[in-house]
Structure 1
């Protein structure tokens, strides 16, 4: 038996995040990726949570790091120009990181707006940090697919895990899925190019991942500038859609340019629901709206 078949067959019950079903014919689960687009500002994070809630998303996601662990050694002392002046890359990572009280504040705001909230932990202590706050799920960032220690710690939580697959080979994804074992699991097709050009989207991977990991909800994490590719992913069967959001794509920060502004994100959620309604059930029938044209236009009955 292959590694991916063995690990997916261990998956227990259908995936639920915060009580919301994911996959199995449920509406696409829409995640607003705030990431670091809050720029270390709690009030900005709250405004982005409001954008997600107003648009009709089901969840907001952040990123959690212990900077001295998760920052690569060769990057720590690299100078970076920031809105707060020049600082080292490690200093910048500390500057934009929320502490426990700040996370409680933004988590409570998300909950009051009816959203689940969780984060991508980038190191093992960050898993414990998020667990202490009672997150509903965990997200594995594409950069962490090969971090066996992190994956093992995540598997031990028993929480739903959303595994992003950018910059990864199928063999690396197989190993990650095997480590996650019986955890409730969803997998996101992703390409980690920011912004994403259409020729690198490779949306047929949604079906390929579904074939490789039967029973696991497959979704799409997009970094393109528009809506078309994400909407096509839903038409191709994506059970989850994750997109970065921002108040203004011109804001300072590495992810803003590949993010959706409030109006764009609202349109995305609206159009996802329209597409889901339009997909139907694949059973051919004469619909009520066709009866008047039928009576008017058809000359020969069967």
Structure 2
């Protein structure tokens, strides 16, 4: 299955429609499958007492409140309509992450999304997760900062929401929902987990990419990777860990003001990442060891044959001194070497001739 690549525009539009549209163009040019934004109202997302993350303090006004920063990064509802129409015109999937109930209801009622993305910071926001699942849509759940227990708890609530969507109100009996056969089928077909390290940028030694396989094995769901490290090597490596989804932040210019630009890819890097992932997908193959068509043309010139090192006449016995092993591989294979020692030849050979069967 082809890796689903999400180009994460996030808030790197800085609240400007023209930048958001240009980000769509970059994602399309790079060959991403989807471009994702973020939908929120600052006043619904954080209180006035909420401080900034350390990386945000370094990259924005450290005295500014989180709410004030977020207010500048909001994507107005009217921009959503224009962006989605533009994405449809450019044949790329429009996605957006909702961070509050009102924003989720807007996306569900107005945006006709194919799937929903729940960010790492909301993994313990079970009421919001439940509302996501009640939509019946496919869900991608990021797991940054989460324990296995927290992931399982979120999946229980998703199971309950899916059953609610089918008219089966389980009245918050999440464990019953989680182990319901129908809910298990829905989880397996509709939910994907993203391994993630919620640091910006995330150090290489923190990435633990093998956790992608562990998530798949533990929960029996598709697993992918949301990358916050610098460069493109980590998401490319994640594909070799069977990641089915890759999400990566990108920007028009890392020097733009804002909290996420410096940990994002620039346009040419996003394109390189997508191209590399497609090459890795092709290179992984099916795991069956066998000659492939492209290499068989080299078989004759690089393999060797048994040839005569010196003349031998009909009726004579072949000794080690008679045989050499040389290219090309058009004659008797060297694997017959020991069979030929002591054999009597039925014809005359000159030095350099190939032995016949």
Q: TM-score range by the shorter chain?
A: 0.7 to 0.9
Pick one of 83, 89, 107 that aligns with 1:130: 107
* TM-superposed deviation, 1:289: 3.1
Structure 1 partner of 2:68: 91
SS in 2 for 1:63: strand
Structure 2 partner of 1:161: 139
Farther off after superposition, 193-202 or 60-69: 60-69
The answer to whether residue 120 in structure 2 is matched with residue 146 in structure 1 is: no
Structure 2 partner of 1:251: 256
Deviations 1:96-143 (A, max 9, x none): 212221110111111211111121111111110111221221111100
What are the equivalent positions in structure 2 for 1:180-195 lying under 5 Å apart? 180-181=158-159, 182=186, 184-195=190-201
* Unmatched segments (≥5 aa) in structure 1: 1-25
C-alpha distance in structure 1 between counterparts of 2:93 and 2:29, whole Å: 14
* Unmatched segments (≥5 aa) in structure 2: 160-185, 306-333, 337-357
Structure 2 partner of 1:37: 12
CA contact (8 A) 1:37 1:255 kept: yes
* TM-superposed deviation, 1:257: 1.0
Q: 1:294 to 1:151 in 2, by over 3 A?
A: same
Pick one of 224, 228, 231 that aligns with 2:229: 224
Structure 1 partner of 2:43: 68
Query: Which consecutive aligned stretches of 4+ in structure 1 deviate over 6 angstroms post-superposition?
Result: 80-84
* TM-superposed deviation, 1:77: 11
CA contact (8 A) 1:249 1:260 kept: yes
Larger Rg: 2
What is the total number of aligned residue pairs between the two structures?
A: 274
* TM-superposed deviation, 1:149: 0.7
Deviations 1:45-98 (A, max 9, x none): 0000000011111101111112222114422799x89999x8643233223212
Pick one of 194, 205, 212 that aligns with 2:211: 205
The answer to whether residue 280 in structure 2 is matched with residue 275 in structure 1 is: yes
C-alpha distance in structure 2 between counterparts of 1:235 and 1:77, whole Å: 35
Q: 1:41 to 1:285 in 2, by over 3 A?
A: same
What TM-score do the two structures reach when normalised by structure 1? 0.85
C-alpha distance in structure 1 between counterparts of 2:298 and 2:93, whole Å: 46
What TM-score do the two structures reach when normalised by structure 2? 0.72
C-alpha distance in structure 2 between counterparts of 1:185 and 1:288, whole Å: 38
What are the equivalent positions in structure 2 for 1:45-124 lying under 5 Å apart? 45-75=20-50, 88-124=65-101
* TM-superposed deviation, 1:222: 0.3
CA contact (8 A) 1:146 1:172 kept: yes
CA contact (8 A) 1:124 1:149 kept: no
Structure 2 partner of 1:14: none
Structure 2 partner of 1:15: none
SS in 2 for 1:251: coil
